[in-house]
């Protein structure tokens, strides 16, 4: 057990994609047709928003008055399924939520920026202009005018979907969001993970820039303790997907496993840059700063995280560790202690 085991959040098994909307979200970057399919499915779906209530039962939108939760940066988190609320262990079970049709939710939150599945590696920011274009149907002509089709024909798209979805099915129940891994694997599960890696590789031959395939392939490598290969895939994904903080966060974890302090720190810093109000990313980076003896910066950052979530036990433990290092009460941890 490493020094930082007490800081780790509860493991969360990946269940993505859970429904048709999530499948479309995964595939939206393939070409213009896939992007249009995503918007069509989005508008036809029921979505979930969190609210400041005292019940965790679903609330339908008719004649309901609730105060929807908004992030400190002004974005409103929305979700494509109940599982997405609890991705990455960010929130505790039993959050009060409201279920609305997409059209009702978009009208209810008109003028606000929304973020779909903010705790998932597959999130999507929806800006007000984009939502307006979706509601009035002009989004499809906007896509035609602004996006170059990457030239993948229908047969290749169908083959890609088969490969990608089978690869996800092969790793179902085996990969863990949050950087942790199973303690042991039997031969059947090892084969399933290796099959998933091969499936993602074949999918990437058809669509080389599909970063979710890279990310999920890295998760299979991670569980197999093939950390250098995991980091290689995450670095590729990070160079393509420039907004999602989970990609560099996972890269930082994998860099730690191969004892690369520079990349451990640089990727946790990049994750925080992408989600500057996320107290868990602040805590991760603060802990990593101790490795490179940036003690004052680490203490300032963990204090900032505690201003956001003062009762978070992980943040409190990290602050205690940082203060103990600064005062000489404990020895400065090594990168091996963090694993």
pLDDT at 120 (0 to 100): 82
> What residues does CATH 1.25.40.10 cover in the chain?
3-13+153-338
Share of the chain above pLDDT 70, in %: 86
pLDDT at 6 (0 to 100): 36
CA dihedral 84, 86, 89, 90 (to 10 degrees): 90
In this predicted structure, the answer to whether residue 49 has a pLDDT above a threshold of 70 is yes
Instruction: Work out the pLDDT band at 333, boundaries 50, 70, 90.
Output: very high
Neighbours of 160 (CB within 10 A): 23
For the residues of 126-142, what is the DSSP string, one character each?
E-HHHHHHHHHTTHHHH
Cβ atoms 320, 241 nearer than 8 A: no
pTM: 0.67
Instruction: Work out the pLDDT band at 54, boundaries 50, 70, 90.
Output: low
In this predicted structure, the answer to whether residue 149 has a pLDDT above a threshold of 70 is no
Instruction: Work out the pLDDT band at 183, boundaries 50, 70, 90.
Output: low
What one-character DSSP code corresponds to residue 207? -
What's the pLDDT tens digit per position in 302-313?
Answer: 999 999 889 889
Between residues 25 and 300, which one has the greater pLDDT?
300
pLDDT at 7 (0 to 100): 42
**Weakest mean pLDDT among 22-31, 108-117, 250-259, 315-324:** 22-31
How far separated are the first and last CA of the chain, in Å rounded?
8
Rounded to an integer, what distance in angstroms lies between the CA atom of residue 186 and that of residue 33?
A: 40
Fold classification of 3-13+153-338 (topology level): 1.25.40
What's the pLDDT tens digit per position in 111-138?
Answer: 888 999 988 877 888 988 899 999 999 9
Cβ atoms 201, 217 nearer than 8 A: yes
């Amino acid at each position: 057990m490493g020094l930082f085991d007490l800081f780790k959040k509860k493991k969360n098994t990946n269940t993505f994609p859970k429904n048709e909307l999530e499948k479309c979200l995964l595939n939206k970057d393939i070409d213009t047709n896939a992007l249009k399919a995503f918007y069509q499915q989005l508008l036809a779906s029921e979505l979930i928003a969190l609210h400041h209530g005292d019940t965790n039962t679903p609330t339908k939108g008719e004649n309901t008055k609730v105060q929807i939760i908004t992030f400190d940066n002004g974005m409103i988190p929305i979700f494509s399924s109940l599982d997405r609320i609890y991705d990455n262990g960010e929130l505790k079970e039993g959050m009060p939520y409201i279920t609305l049709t997409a059209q009702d939710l978009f009208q209810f939150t008109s003028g606000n920026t929304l973020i779909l599945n903010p705790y998932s590696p597959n999130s999507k920011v929806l800006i007000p202009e984009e939502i307006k274009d979706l509601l009035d149907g002009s989004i499809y002509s906007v896509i035609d005018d602004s996006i170059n089709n990457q030239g993948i024909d229908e047969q290749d798209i169908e083959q890609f979907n088969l490969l990608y979805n089978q690869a996800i099915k092969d790793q179902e129940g085996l990969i863990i969001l949050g950087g942790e891994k199973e303690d042991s694997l039997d031969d059947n599960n090892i084969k399933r993970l290796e099959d998933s890696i091969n499936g993602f590789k074949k999918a990437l031959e058809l669509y080389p820039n599909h970063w979710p395939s890279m990310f999920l392939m890295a998760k299979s490598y991670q569980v197999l303790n093939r950390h250098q290969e995991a980091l290689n895939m995450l670095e590729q994904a990070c160079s393509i997907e420039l907004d999602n903080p989970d990609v560099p966060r996972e890269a930082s974890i994998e860099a730690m496993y191969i004892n690369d302090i520079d990349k451990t720190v640089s990727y946790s810093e990049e994750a925080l840059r992408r989600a500057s109000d996320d107290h868990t990313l602040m805590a991760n980076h603060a802990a990593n700063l101790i490795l490179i003896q940036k003690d004052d910066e680490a203490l300032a950052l963990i204090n900032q995280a505690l201003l956001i979530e003062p009762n978070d036990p992980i943040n409190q433990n990290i602050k205690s560790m940082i203060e103990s290092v600064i005062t000489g009460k404990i020895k400065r941890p090594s990168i091996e202690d963090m694993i």
